[in-house]
Structure 1
């Protein structure tokens, strides 16, 4: 495995873990009563994810170009499978880290409310007391939380299913467009710009069905119309859907690439 692919996999793991941990923000917002501040503090981690994503794309594209030059395009499918596999592993890691991250983010929000400064928050995070607080926040996932997966009552099955499908499309979108470029080297620029064909469907599902429901449920908890336990149960199922979505992405990779390849040819 080349250095380029190792870099891509490392960046993929970082992006996937942060994407999974993003679902902790609403829980922290409910606990602290500061949803906006929780989102603002989490934006530090989101910035890391965006930076990793901006590096990942060019590195992977360079690998594809080199493979096309040497006539070894077939190996790219194997590489894409590995990337998707590590996405699944990283999503599972992110799910296991959620209890710890919730505590860390909760303390970060409280610290920010006192200092009202991101730079001071970052300095505190790397200070001796900040490191001690992080150590004390390390928490193993509770068996009770995992047991919530058996409780199917009052779970929005359609919303979770749509979220799973949307996440699988998001996961495979850019990779399928790059693989389509491998199948059609002469149209690889067109193919690389057609990833919205796949991710656009996911965006519609998220904007119309998933995000509004989770936002409404968040407000219901704050207004006392829903318990925090019910909300956490919903988030647990959503995160489980993310894991399943990354596995489903393996099945969608080739069909999605063929769809993009077809569209690129008829444009």
Structure 2
């Protein structure tokens, strides 16, 4: 395993850990009644995720270039390890959500007093901040690991399926476009720019169906039209569907890579 792949695995864990934790931001917004501040503070973590993403793709592209130049086709093992990293990150993120909710809720309340992100960050490294963080550590309840019929009350199954598909496609989109370079080495530059062909469907699912549904449901909870307990159950299902999506991505890697390589040959 090369140093490029090791760093890609680390960046992948960071990106998908933060993506999983994002599901809890709406819960924090509902609890604190400060949705805008909750998302604003979470955007600090999004910045970390995007920075990691900006390094991930070039490192992976460099690894592919080196192998092609050396006349080596290493197969899909390293790529599949990267997808496994997304699954592991999703599991870790799900386990950290109870703690993250408490930390973010406390951060929202502190920010409401000081209105300063730098002061909020510095406070987290003080003796008081560290002591407070230790108190907020919490493992998920055992009930959170069960998926029973009561969880599906008021939750459209199609949203669950859409999220599985969207996560699976987004997980494998860039990876398959880069791996297509092994299938058609002469068109690897073209292939690397075609991830949007695959990711387009996932983007439609996210922005047309999934995000509007969750946003509307968040407003319903705030207005008292839907229970907070019910909303938490739906978030559990969304995380579970995300986990399934990362596993499903393993099945899509080769077909999507071949599809992108084919597109690269005909355009």
* TM-score, length basis structure 1: 0.97
Structure 1 residue 161, shift from structure 2 partner: 0.7
Conserved in 2, the CA contact under 8 Å of 1:76 and 1:179? no
Cα distance in 2 for residues equivalent to 1:149 and 1:60? 40
Q: 1:169 touches 1:199 (CA, 8 Å); kept in 2?
A: yes
Match of 2:113 in 1: 114
Residue in structure 1 matched with residue 129 of structure 2 by the alignment = 130
Q: What residue is the counterpart of 1:88 in the other structure?
A: 87
| Structure 1 gaps, min length 5 | none
2:218 is the alignment partner of 1:183: no
Q: Displacement, 1:63? A: 0.6
138-147 or 45-54: which moved more?
A: 138-147
Q: Say if 2:207 is the partner of 1:207.
A: yes
Q: Distance in 2 between matches of 1:10 and 1:182?
A: 23
> 1:1-267 alignment to 2 at 5 Å?
1-73=1-73, 75-147=74-146, 149-151=148-150, 152-267=152-267
Cα distance in structure 1, aligned partners of 2:161 and 2:230:
18
Moved more, 201-210 or 147-156: 147-156
Distance in 1 of aligned mates of 2:266 and 2:51: 34
Q: Deviations over 1:89-133 (max 9, x none)?
A: 111110111010000100111111111011111111111111111
SS of 1:22's equivalent in the other structure is: helix
Q: Tell me the secondary structure at the aligned position of residue 23 of structure 1.
A: helix
Deviations 1:51-97 (A, max 9, x none): 11111111111111110011112x15111011001110111110111
Q: Which runs of 4+ in 1 moved over 6 A?
A: none
CA RMSD of aligned residues (A): 1.0
Unmatched segments (≥5 aa) in structure 2: none
Deviation (angstroms), 1:154: 2.1
Q: Give the distance between the partners of 2:146 and 2:206, measured in 1 at CA.
A: 27
The CA deviation string for residues 202-225 of structure 1, in whole angstroms up to 9 with x for no partner, is 000111111111001000000000
Taking the aligned partners of 2:161 and 2:26, their CA distance within structure 1 comes to 20
